[in-house]
């Protein structure tokens, strides 16, 4: 897979990212709430709840232009690699990195692809639920978050709660309803010494859930 | 009309400059770190500079400027209202229609001065058709709550707000081509009343009007603010078709409606468990926090002028 050759800062990508961030602001008035962490250019893995295709656009709209250029969303190759157009949008315009859910060869191993991005000094946006989820509950986390943290303990894991996107662009719709959204960036999470995988994933999930600014909402 | 506009711009400039100087002196003398009230006061005044500048620019573009500006205000207000209230996934198309069809169509009616449809499009046709679409979707969960919130959302954010640029369509004899000044009068008097109520409330406020709804609205602030802004209205009679006494009376009604608008907005916010509608305007909150009074004042002002002054 050619995803490892990350062509950042191309004109197309810069224009797309500026354009999409402006659009995200026009539609959702998106603003970051730094609640436990601060904007920083250090290497990070942002992990967020996943309810819509617009999620990572909103999240990256909250980052500075330079951070955005070296932050890549991880997307499913089963969806984004399906046609040449989708692949072009995902890789050449949005500079996301495609991984296969059903991988066959070692070169397609999701973790090794993600690690190779980190090894170039870049940051990641991942959705540990693994799929889009229509509610404000969180599905159980996949183990990728744990494996990445064990392999690269010096990379910060930042939980990010993306508010309201399930209402703006529900699964199956393609026109967004303009509603106000916030992205809450929480305190970094790290694997404690000796902490086992399941306990860590549970703790990371709870940290993310705790960031929901309006947990009592039921829509 | 140039003459009147120049006077208004100079007047606003003097008032805002004075406010900035006073806030600067207060901040210099006050113990550090500054109190939240003082920081908020400075933010509010700075935001006023921006808002007055934007209004002035829109003013110079006349009918275009006003229609576009208030269309955008409706968009921001509707977004805040819908964000706050309950909706379900099956409401997606109705919500899209509110932004994509109702706002443009209502402002198109303002633009073409089609009064007959302008006054009934939302209260009659949207009122009947939107719940019908929701019912056709078949999702009856909290049905009445959802359709009521949608109805309120477009009444407040689109219908009421659109009465401000609709003032340009009124035909007041002897006042031709000067209708922009009616908008200036309404906005200055109503927003001035908000500011004066804030000042009187901060200085003399003791007895709350509706303690369960809003802790900051007091009788002292209300009476002082509304009386002072009615006097302001009389002073501004020279930019209107009204006599000074009429101007004071119209201003009194508009400001009283404005107060009620703020009260109703507070009740909705309290019910939904938030303090502000949003964060668009630094120090003030959201678009609806700044326009709640205008929303209630505009339709009544519009109909007063239409009934008593037009042919």
Percent of chain B with pLDDT over 70: 100
Query: Interior CA angle at A169 toward A165 and A171, to 5°?
Result: 105
Distance (Å) from the C-alpha of residue A25 to the closest C-alpha of chain B? 11
Average pLDDT over chain B, rounded to an integer:
95
pLDDT confidence bin for A219, thresholds 50/70/90: low
pLDDT at B11 over 60: yes
pLDDT in tens, A68-97: 888 999 998 888 888 998 888 888 888 899
Nearest to B88 among A164, A177, A219 (CB): A219
Nearest to B92 among A29, A164, A177 (CB): A177
Q: Residue for token digits 């539609």?
A: A27
pLDDT for the residue A2? 44
Helix (H, G, I), strand (E, B) or coil at B297: helix
For residue A22, being part of any structural domain is answered with yes
* A180/B contact by beta carbon, under 8 A: yes
pLDDT for the residue A131? 83
Distance (Å) from the C-alpha of residue B82 to the closest C-alpha of chain A? 7
Out of A11-15, B150-154, B214-218, the most confident range is: B150-154
Q: How many domains does chain A have?
A: 1
Q: In terms of Cα–Cα distance, which of A50, A32, A30 is closest to A135?
A: A50
pLDDT for the residue A189? 95
Helix or strand run (H / E) with residue A92: none
Percent of chain A with pLDDT over 90: 57
Contact A177 B279 (CB under 8 A): no
DSSP A37: -
Give the domain extent around A81.
Answer: 7-209
For residue A107, being part of any structural domain is answered with yes
pLDDT confidence bin for B185, thresholds 50/70/90: very high
Contact A170 B92 (CB under 8 A): yes
CATH number where A204 lies: 3.40.1130.10
pLDDT in tens, A89-141: 888 888 899 998 888 888 889 999 999 999 999 999 999 998 888 777 888 99
pLDDT at A4 over 90: no
Q: Are B222 and B209 in contact (CB under 8 A)?
A: yes
Please indicate, yes or no, whether the overall pTM of this predicted structure exceeds 0.90: yes
Contact A177 B82 (CB under 8 A): yes
More confident: A77 or B241: B241
Chain A residues with CB under 8 Å of B95 CB are 177
CA-nearest residue to A181 within chain B is B83
* B279/A contact by beta carbon, under 8 A: yes
**How far is the C-alpha of A131 from the C-alpha of A136, rounded, in Å?**
14
Q: What is the mean pLDDT of residues A141-164?
A: 94
Helix (H, G, I), strand (E, B) or coil at B33: coil
pLDDT confidence bin for B34, thresholds 50/70/90: confident
For residue A216, being part of any structural domain is answered with no
pLDDT for the residue A9? 62
pLDDT for the residue B153? 97
Mutate to test the interface with B, among A25, A28, A29 (most CBs of B within 10 A): A29
């Amino acid at each position: 897979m050619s995803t490892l050759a990350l062509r950042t800062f191309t004109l197309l990508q810069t224009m797309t990212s500026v354009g999409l961030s402006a659009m995200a602001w026009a539609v959702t008035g998106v603003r970051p709430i730094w609640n436990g962490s601060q904007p920083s250019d250090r290497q990070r893995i942002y992990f967020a709840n996943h309810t819509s295709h617009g999620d990572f656009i909103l999240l990256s709209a909250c980052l500075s232009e330079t951070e955005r250029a070296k932050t890549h969303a991880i997307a499913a190759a089963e969806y984004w690699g399906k046609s040449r157009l989708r692949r072009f949008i995902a890789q050449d315009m949005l500079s996301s990195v495609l991984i296969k859910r059903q991988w066959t060869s070692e070169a397609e191993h999701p973790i090794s692809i993600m690690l190779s991005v980190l090894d170039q000094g870049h940051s990641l946006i991942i959705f540990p639920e693994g799929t889009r989820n229509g509610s404000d509950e969180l599905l159980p986390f996949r183990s990728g978050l744990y494996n990445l943290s064990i392999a690269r303990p010096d990379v910060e894991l930042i939980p990010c709660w993306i508010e309201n996107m399930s209402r703006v662009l529900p699964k199956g719709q393609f026109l967004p309803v303009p509603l106000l959204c916030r992205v809450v960036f929480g305190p970094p999470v790290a694997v404690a010494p000796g902490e086992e995988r399941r306990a860590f994933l549970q703790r990371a999930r709870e940290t993310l859930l705790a960031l929901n600014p309006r947990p009592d909402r039921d829509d | 009309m140039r003459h009147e506009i120049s006077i208004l711009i100079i007047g606003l400039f003097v008032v805002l400059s004075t406010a900035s100087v006073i806030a600067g002196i207060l901040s210099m003398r006050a113990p550090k770190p500054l109190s939240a009230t003082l920081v908020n006061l400075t933010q509010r005044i700075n935001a006023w500079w921006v808002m007055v500048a934007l209004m002035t620019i829109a003013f110079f573009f006349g009918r275009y400027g006003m229609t576009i500006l208030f269309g955008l205000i409706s968009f921001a207000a509707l977004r805040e209202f819908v964000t706050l209230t309950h909706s379900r996934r099956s409401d997606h198309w109705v919500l899209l229609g509110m932004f994509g069809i109702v706002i443009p169509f209502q402002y198109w009616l303002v633009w073409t001065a089609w009064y007959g449809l302008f006054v009934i499009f939302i209260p009659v046709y949207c009122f009947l058709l939107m719940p019908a679409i929701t019912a056709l979707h078949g999702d009856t969960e909290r049905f009445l709550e959802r359709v009521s919130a949608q109805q309120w959302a477009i009444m407040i954010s689109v219908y009421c707000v659109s009465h401000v640029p609709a003032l340009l369509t009124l035909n007041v004899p002897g006042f031709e081509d000067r209708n922009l000044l009616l908008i200036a009068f309404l906005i200055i008097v109503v927003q001035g009343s908000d500011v004066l109520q804030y000042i009187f409330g901060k200085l003399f406020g003791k007895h709350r009007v509706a303690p369960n709804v809003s802790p900051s609205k007091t009788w002292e602030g209300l009476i002082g603010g509304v009386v002072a802004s009615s006097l302001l209205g009389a002073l501004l009679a020279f930019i209107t078709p009204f006599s000074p006494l009429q101007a004071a009376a119209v201003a009194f009604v508009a400001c009283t409606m404005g107060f009620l608008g703020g009260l109703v907005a507070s009740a909705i916010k309290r019910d939904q468990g938030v303090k502000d509608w949003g964060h668009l305007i630094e120090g003030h909150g959201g678009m609806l926090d700044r326009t709640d009074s205008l929303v209630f004042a505009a339709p009544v002002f519009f109909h007063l002028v239409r009934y008593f002054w037009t042919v």
